[in-house]
Chains A and B, each alone.
Chain A
Amino acid sequence: MSPRRLRRFGPPLALGMALLLLWQAATLYLNIQDWLLPSPLQILQAGWQARGVMGPHVWQTIQETVIGFALALLAGLTLGMSIDYSHWLRRALYPLLVLSQTVPVIAIAPLLVIWFGYGILPKVLVVGLVCFFPIVVSTADGLRSADPDQIALLRTMGASRSDVFRLIRLPGALPSVFTGIKVGITYSVVGAIMGEWVGSSRGLGVFMLRATNAFRTDWVFVSIAITAALSVLLFGLVNLVERILLGWYYASRRTEEWAEVS
């Protein structure tokens, strides 16, 4: 690890390891029952043993998450751009979108099962509902934040409205859009699991429920660990895409940080 990475990832890794060690020691010396709180090593062992059984469940959840998120991205970008496109749409849509966020998704999920059955569709929709809002808002705000001077400049070059959008507003909005995408993606796996709880025969959420009912606390923890790992993985992927697409943005932010320090 390079010194910079070590400085960044070192402290959280060290703290995490210390907490796990504490946990391990506590379960050993305080004589805590396995069904109440299994030790980290026991959880690791249980996960390894259950890998064959868990495989299809995990795969199901991944599918729901990815499809649902793709849907949220599509809907979020489209709605965000529509809001930006016309004042009328902004006034009509924005309050409704905010209002839609006050309805708990967990209350809508059973309705989706009634309407769309026990297949993958209702879970995909739950993921979509959970993730799309931050993307809409960040897209609309990002497009709105374009520099009026740069727009004026482009107009003196004879640019049309679509030129301004393509050359200034859209690229300028991308950092904000990615912020929304990152907020959305952290909710996505949890969204899929909520969808599965309401009615499903496969998925991490189902596995979690069954483990709870069987008092297999170790399996519950395994599912939690996998859920977290999936979320982190997806977040990391988005981050990677962002760094590739927005190299200029990070480079210019580093320069600003330097200017502040020196």
Chain B
Amino acid sequence: MTQQALISVRNVSKAFSVEGRLVQAVDNVSLQAREREFVALIGPSGCGKSTLLNLIAGLMEPDQGEIALRGDRQTERLGRIGYMPQRDGLLPWRRLLENVTLGPEVMRRDLPAVREQALALLPLFGLQGFERSYPHELSGGMRQRAALLRTLLCEQEVVLLDEPFGALDALTRRTMRDWLLGIWERFQRTMLLVTHDVDEALLLSDRIYVLTPRPGRVALEIDVPLPRPRHEGLLNDPLFASSRESILTALREHDG
């Protein structure tokens, strides 16, 4: 690892008190993402993925260990790391355009300019003509794309994606996966994707961390040996198959 990590998590642990019992959600986890890298975290439910994302985003602080942005662990992470929640989090009282420019509005950037930028990006996000629609008028896929556009318009250094397609049907999910690939190649932002879909992780990312459930630990770190640009056809590649096998084995070993 010659290049300096943009975000690095070192020996981080976090426990919660649930009904008087102390539950270890994340246990001694270390991981990192370099500049413009696409990293996937994969694991079954209960592996502390969401806690890990909350920690990285700065919404909570770890009990032990440290999280550093560009090698500096003193930096305030809130406001510098983009976060796309599992549910789209669109505000029902705001029209689409006002929803996607929420971040720049909070950051008090030049709003008219951001609106122009957002309008220009709508076709790429399949939202052209819907700028004046309320969230309830949009389909599930459109809402997720709007949420991603909102996250990207914040122009933060790292983008965290928490199972962004988890609530979508299988067909929409596949389309969205290909689409996200294109978006990442175009925006070249550092991304950290949480998912429990092995194919999704392999197709999208440069590196994958496999996490174990209760407590969340890193079971396997694997570099994805597939060339870019990627496409759906790679799913049949032998390299793909062997990577998938090692991930599935790691997941199986820690099952239960």
Contact = CB atoms under 8 A, between A and B. Distances in A.
| A-B interaction | yes
Given A152-B59, A158-B107, A252-B134, A171 B85 contact: no
Interface in B69-113: 78-83, 85, 87, 89, 91-94, 102-103, 105-107
A157 B59 contact: no
Interface string A245-260: 0101101100110000
A7 to B, nearest CB: 24
A18 to B, nearest CB: 40
Contacts of B58: 156
A250 to B, nearest CB: 11
A206 B110 CA distance: 60
Interface in A128-176: 147, 149-150, 152-159, 163, 167-168, 171-172, 174
A167 B93 contact: no
- Categorize the interface residue count of chain B: 20 to 34
B79 A149 contact: no
A153 B107 contact: no
B118 interface: no
Interface string A2-37: 000000000000000000000000000000000000
A167 B54 contact: no
B78 A158 contact: yes
A163 B136 CA distance: 24
Contact of A150 (B79, B81, B89, B137): B89
A144 to B, nearest CB: 17
A99 B35 CA distance: 60
Interface string A218-262: 000000000000000000000000000010110110011000000
B170 to A, nearest CB: 21
Q: Is the interface of B mostly helix, strand, loop or mixed?
A: loop
B154 interface: yes
Nearest to A147: B89
A172 B91 CA distance: 9
B168 to A, nearest CB: 17
B57 interface: yes
Interface in A83-108: none
A251 B134 contact: yes
B93 A171 contact: yes
Nearest to A252: B136
B54 A249 contact: no
Given A152-B59, A155-B78, A156-B59, A249 B137 contact: no
Contact of B78 (A156, A174, A249): A156
A153 B92 contact: no
A249 B93 CA distance: 7
A156 B79 contact: yes
Given A150-B91, A152-B59, A248-B93, A157 B154 contact: yes
Interface of A: 147, 149-150, 152-159, 163, 167-168, 171-172, 174, 246, 248-249, 251-252, 255-256
Interface of B: 54, 57-59, 78-83, 85, 87, 89, 91-94, 102-103, 105-107, 134-137, 154
Given A153-B89, A168-B91, 11 more contacts: A149-B89, A150-B89, A152-B59, A153-B83, A153-B85, A154-B102, A158-B78, A167-B102, A248-B94, A251-B136, A252-B134
* A-B interface, 3 closest residue pairs, ranked by CB to CB distance from nearest: A158-B79, A252-B136, A156-B83
24 contacts: A150-B89, A152-B85, A153-B83, A155-B59, A156-B79, A156-B81, A156-B83, A157-B102, A157-B103, A157-B106, A157-B154, A158-B80, A163-B106, A167-B102, A171-B93, A172-B91, A172-B93, A174-B93, A248-B93, A251-B134, A251-B136, A251-B137, A255-B136, A255-B137
